[in-house]
Amino acid sequence: MKKATTKTSSPLRIYCDIFGHKYEMTKKVTSHVKEYTCKCCKRQLTTNGNGKLTELTPKYQEINAILEDIYTRRMMRLKSKTLSSSIY
């Protein structure tokens, strides 16, 4: 006998299926890469190398963390360089 599988969905998920997602930016990794989360169903997306939105998988989470670390170090280095050059 075959079991009938029913996909249980929350009312908020059904809302997103009908009207679309309401994404809000949750994290700014760099000036070009951002992470988004849907207000209703909590679906997470990020921008990929082509600038398109993709699902935020553990692989992309790791990439974004490393990219953010490199970006902040670079910005700090540039900031300290401009401060030291403006003194002279």
DSSP letters, the chain, are -PPPP-----HHHHHHHHH---EEEEEE-SSS-EEEEETTT--EEEE-TTS-EEE--HHHHHHHHHHHHHHHHHHHHHHHHHHHHHH-
Query: Other C-beta atoms within 10 Å of 41: how many?
Result: 17
Give the global pTM.
0.74
- 88 within a domain of the structure (yes/no): no
70 in any annotated domain: yes
pLDDT digits (tens, 9 = 90+) for 33-60: 999 999 989 999 999 989 999 999 999 9
Q: How many domains does the chain have?
A: 1
Domain that holds residue 73: 23-83
Whether residue 71 lies inside any domain: the answer is yes
Kindly state the percentage of the chain with pLDDT values over 90.
59
